[in-house]
């Protein structure tokens, strides 16, 4: 493929024996197909970086906030633990059949087992983080009891993600 020749005229800074001179210069260069693809590649790279930032940064921020408010660990000791709050909220919404359990697998609501599952630190914890996470998971149980379509979509996505993660672990 023949390359196109490009001629451009622009001022340039040059050096001569008498010093620096600002003089116009004539530039002749080769403009091939690779130069036309560079802007598209740059846009693609910037778009991917922005997408990654939009996905990763909120999660990092949430982790930071939860860690920050996990201390003091006994902030709400008089009011009760995360598990006690979860049970109270579930009972308030007539969801006595939903269990509150300890799990090592991370805080979540299991719609099949009808159980709010909290990690040990949230289950027995009295920090702002513990009660906030417990209330959040109870919110999922309430959504499930009302048959909300957004919750059903979320549950479907969670099942797909859990299956994919199990498959990934079996490969490694």
What angle separates helix 128-145 from helix 149-171, to the nearest 10 degrees? Answer: 110
Query: Is position 84 annotated as part of the catalytic site?
Result: no
Q: Which of these, 167, 67, 158, lies nearest to 110 by C-alpha position?
A: 158
Q: Which of 71, 78, 137, 148 is catalytic?
A: 137
| Dihedral, 46, 51, 54, 55 alpha carbons, nearest 10 | -140
SS3 110: strand
CA 88 to CA 94: how far, in whole Å? 10
Q: Contact at 8 Å (CB) between 139 and 147?
A: no
Q: Contact at 8 Å (CB) between 122 and 134?
A: yes
Residues with catalytic roles: 137
């Amino acid at each position: 493929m023949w390359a196109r020749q490009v001629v451009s005229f622009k001022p340039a800074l040059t050096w001569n024996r008498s010093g620096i001179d600002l003089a116009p210069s004539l530039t002749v260069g080769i403009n091939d197909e690779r130069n036309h693809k560079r802007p598209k590649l740059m846009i693609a790279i910037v778009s991917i970086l922005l997408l990654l930032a939009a996905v990763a940064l909120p999660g990092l921020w949430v982790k930071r906030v939860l860690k920050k408010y996990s201390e003091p660990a006994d902030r709400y000791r008089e009011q009760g633990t995360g598990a006690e709050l979860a049970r109270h909220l579930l009972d308030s919404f007539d969801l006595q059949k939903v269990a509150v359990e300890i799990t090592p697998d991370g805080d979540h609501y299991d719609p099949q087992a009808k159980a709010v599952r909290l990690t040990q630190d949230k289950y027995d914890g009295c920090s702002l983080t513990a009660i906030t996470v417990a209330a959040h998971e109870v919110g999922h149980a309430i959504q499930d009891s009302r048959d909300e379509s957004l919750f059903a979509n979320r549950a479907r996505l969670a099942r797909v993600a859990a299956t994919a993660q199990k498959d990934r672990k079996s490969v490694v």
